[in-house]
Amino acid sequence: MTNGSRVIFFSSTTLIASTVAPPYLLYNATKGAIEQMVRVLAKDLGKNGIRVNCVSPGPTGTDLFLKGKSDELIKTFANANPFGKLGDPEEIADVVGFLASEDSRWVNGQNIRVNGGMA
């Protein structure tokens, strides 16, 4: 990677939610590893002008997220934040775009939770 490159990882808001169900154990374990990798790589690669950050979306209205969930469960997720809605994929993409841009030149080693204030 060249000076000025960016690495953007993805994690999840489930890591800080207090109502995580047992089936999410392995999912959260892998996301926790990603968040630690961001902190370590940011220090290591930062020496070469490479920024490493992470985006942790909350419930987002994608086909994958919606699949197999009842309308009632989706409404519960939507009401878990002050806006009373699921995130839109474009709202997550906006943050990724910011991290990829020069506007984020002083952002390194961060985990940005994009969840509408859910957690």
Which tens digit of pLDDT belongs to each residue from 93-105?
999 999 999 999 9
Domain of 33?
Answer: 6-114
Q: Which residues pair with 91 in a beta bridge?
A: none
Residue environment code for 70-109, b if the CB has 16+ CB neighbours within 10 A, otherwise e: eeeeeeebbebbeeeebbeeebbeebbeebeeeebeebbb
Active-site residue numbers?
A: 27
**pLDDT attached to residue 119:** 80
Is residue 89 in some structural domain? Answer: yes
> Tell me: the pLDDT tens digits for 16-34?
887 778 888 999 999 999 9
> Which tokens belong to 78?
């939507």
Is residue 57 in some structural domain? Answer: yes
Burial of 111 (0-12, 13-18, 19+ CB in 10 A): middle
What total number of domains does the chain contain? 1
**pLDDT attached to residue 17:** 80
**pLDDT attached to residue 86:** 98
What's the pLDDT band for 66 if we cut at 50, 70, 90?
very high
Q: What is the average pLDDT score of the chain?
A: 95
Is residue 119 in some structural domain? Answer: no
